[in-house]
Amino acid sequence: MKKNILAFLRITLGSLRDLAPVVILVLFFQLAVLQQPLPNAGELALGLLLVVLGLTFFIFGLEMGLFPIGESMAYSLAKKGSLLWLILFAFALGFGTTIAEPALIAVSGEAAAVAAAAGFIESSQQAQADYSQGLRLTVAVSVGIGIVIGVVRILKGWPIHLMIAGGYVLVVIMTAIAPQEIIGIAYDSGGVTTSTITVPLVTALGVGLASSIKGRNPLIDGFGLIAFASLTPMIFVMVYGTLI
Amino acid sequence: MLDTLTQSDLFLTILGTSRDVIPIILILLGFQFLVIRRRVTNLKRIIIGFIYVLIGLSLFLLGLEKALFPLGKVMAEQLTDPVFIIGSQATDATRLHWSDYGWVYLFAFAVGFSTTIAEPSLIAVAIKASEVSAGAISVWGLRIAVALGVAIGITLGVYRIVVGAPIHYFIISGYIVVVIQTFFAPKTITALAYDSGGVTTSTVTVPLVAALGLGLAETIPGRSPLIDGFGLIAFASLFPIMTVMGYAQLVQWVTTRRRRQSDNNGQDTQADTPSMEQR
């Protein structure tokens, strides 16, 4: 118990240090550059306290819950030896965590507005809702496929840099084909898809897989799942924008 | 101060976070009980861990939404306001040169750096990378390398919005640099570097950066917020790949140099393999 409290205090101190740059930035720009008083200093302080507490709890729970479950499931599925289940699991994890992602919902809504303004779709509510729904599905499916590709790469030990470079070539080709207005959104959709809970889980999955297979180095082979999950949406969103 | 932060706010945030977590828990449970069909070791501990993550993320988001985001958005709007940039005498923004946006670039750099340092998912990846590499990749080294990358990326992205250059030229040149750098960087870092592009932009960075991009695109004549407001996140996901590989190259160079020096002092003439490759 005492050990836990000590660990908690240590992480709290770490969180304070993590947030120091943000606080300095806000104070400097508000007071020195914009030369305005801090609005609601009390609320600001309370918000910061919540952020510090939140970050502390998150990191504490990360090592207790998220990392162990991700790794243990990777071990069990690898031991089971069924490629199909492993691929299904990887796809479900990618698809399931992306479809509900708030950042993606926001981005796809704005993307529908862009498409309507550019005249690709009718500007009616219905057409926009359909478009953004289709975009969300596209991104979620492509994240699922991205993680599956990454998992298969770990199993087969394929070199990552050739695959990523190949992905880049596809992005460049699609950029030449896709309508101008979709490009910015497509590029952004690669970055917004991986949420705060997905990242630790997927990282643990990759590292767990790589350490349970003989001849794989967890550092070289275990990472890279998120790289694929951020690359495939760019390609698929541009395909989506071209087809519709 | 407490009336603005009511219990219902806290409740709604926890509800929102739970909604994000539920699909993940369903997938994990489904596979655990239908496919793996084995007892989980330390199940109680894992459940407590999940609850901590849920509480932590909720408090974190609530604090950000209550305090930092409103202020950050107002600051982004004020900094991109032509009145602030030119001074009080004129409001004709058409005559502005790209170099008049000095504070905006500094703000973009600082936002990129400081929010990335506080990004929970990057902390998670850095912890794992340090664990797996037995400390050869330090948690702080990786985080600072990624934060620098995001900072450079967002600054360049802001410059692009200001001058109005097409985004794909920047991104494609970035790809070329990444591919060339991959040949020279230590092999052990490649996968991690590619990953660090995707992890940087989640909870903290996206809302602030989006506000900055939209504010700029609205202020500068001839830019459309819908088209030019996007793309900052793409920059923020590309440049960390370069800085993380750069960080690994630096570590390699320093260890090689140090070894060479100690080789010169002693008689031990082992091969110059850097420590990162050995592990």
Q: Do B195 and A223 touch (CB under 8 A)?
A: yes
Q: Do B53 and A62 touch (CB under 8 A)?
A: yes
Of B240 and A45, the one with more pLDDT: B240
Q: Do A218 and B68 touch (CB under 8 A)?
A: no
Q: Which residue is closest to A102 within chain B, CA to CA?
A: B20
Q: Is the pLDDT of residue B1 over 50?
A: no
Q: Is the pLDDT of residue B196 over 80?
A: yes
Per-residue pLDDT band at B271 (split at 50, 70, 90): very low
C-alpha dist (Å) from residue B37 to A76, A87, B29: 10, 18, 10
CB B244 within 8 A of CB B233: no
Per-residue confidence (pLDDT) for residue B5, from 0 to 100: 56
> Looking at chain A from residue 129 to 158, which residues have their Cβ under 8 Å from any Cβ of chain B?
none
Q: Is the pLDDT of residue B9 over 80?
A: no
pTM tops 0.90, yes or no: no
Q: Which residue is closest to A79 within chain B, CA to CA?
A: B36
Greatest alpha-carbon pair distance for chain A in Å reads: 64
Q: Do B52 and A58 touch (CB under 8 A)?
A: yes
Residue A165: both structure tokens together:
């470079």
Q: Give the pLDDT confidence of B135-189 residue by residue, as tens digits.
A: 888 999 999 999 999 999 999 998 888 888 888 889 889 999 999 999 999 888 9
> Looking at chain A from residue 168 to 227, which residues have their Cβ under 8 Å from any Cβ of chain B?
168, 171-172, 175, 180-181, 183-185, 187-188, 190-201, 203-204, 207, 217-227
Average predicted confidence (pLDDT) for chain B:
80
Mean pLDDT over A137-143 rounds to 92
Is the minimum CB–CB distance between A94 and chain B shorter than 8 Å?
no
Per-residue pLDDT band at A182 (split at 50, 70, 90): confident
Q: Is the pLDDT of residue A120 over 80?
A: no
Q: Do A72 and B228 touch (CB under 8 A)?
A: no
Per-residue confidence (pLDDT) for residue B279, from 0 to 100: 36
Per-residue confidence (pLDDT) for residue B2, from 0 to 100: 47
What does the alpha-carbon distance between residue B8 and residue A178 come to, in Å, rounded to a whole number?
45
Sequence-distant (≥ 6) Cβ neighbours of residue B10 within 8 angstroms: B58, B62
Q: Do B20 and A18 touch (CB under 8 A)?
A: no
Tell me which chain B residues have a C-beta less than 8 angstroms from the C-beta of A184: 167, 227-231, 234
Which one-letter DSSP state was computed for residue B67?
I
Q: Is the pLDDT of residue B276 over 50?
A: no
Rounded to a whole number of angstroms, the distance from the CA of A44 to the nearest CA of chain B is: 5
The region, left, alpha or beta by phi > 0 then psi within -120 to 50, assigned to residue A119 is: left
Q: What percent of chain B has pLDDT over 90?
A: 19
Q: Do B59 and A57 touch (CB under 8 A)?
A: yes
Mean pLDDT over A60-82 rounds to 84
Chain B interface mutation, best of A143, A223, A235, A238, highest count of B Cβ atoms under 10 Å: A223
Q: Residue A60: is it exposed, middle or buried by C-beta count within 10 angstroms (0-12/13-18/19+)?
A: buried
Chain A interface mutation, best of B25, B117, B123, B160, highest count of A Cβ atoms under 10 Å: B123
Q: Do B52 and A64 touch (CB under 8 A)?
A: yes
Tell me which chain B residues have a C-beta less than 8 angstroms from the C-beta of A103: 202, 206
Rounded to a whole number of angstroms, the distance from the CA of B132 to the nearest CA of chain A is: 6
Question: Using CB atoms, which residue from A25, A53, A114 is nearest to B226?
Answer: A114
Of A101 and A201, the one with more pLDDT: A201
Q: Which residue is closest to B132 within chain A, CA to CA?
A: A219
Residue B249: both structure tokens together:
């190259």
What does the alpha-carbon distance between residue B95 and residue B255 come to, in Å, rounded to a whole number?
51
Q: What is the helix, strand, coil percentage profile of chain B, to 5?
A: 80, 0, 20
C-alpha dist (Å) from residue A51 to A58, B40, B250: 10, 32, 33
Is the minimum CB–CB distance between A31 and chain B shorter than 8 Å?
no
Question: Using CB atoms, which residue from A64, A190, A196 is nearest to B45?
Answer: A64
Is the minimum CB–CB distance between A116 and chain B shorter than 8 Å?
no
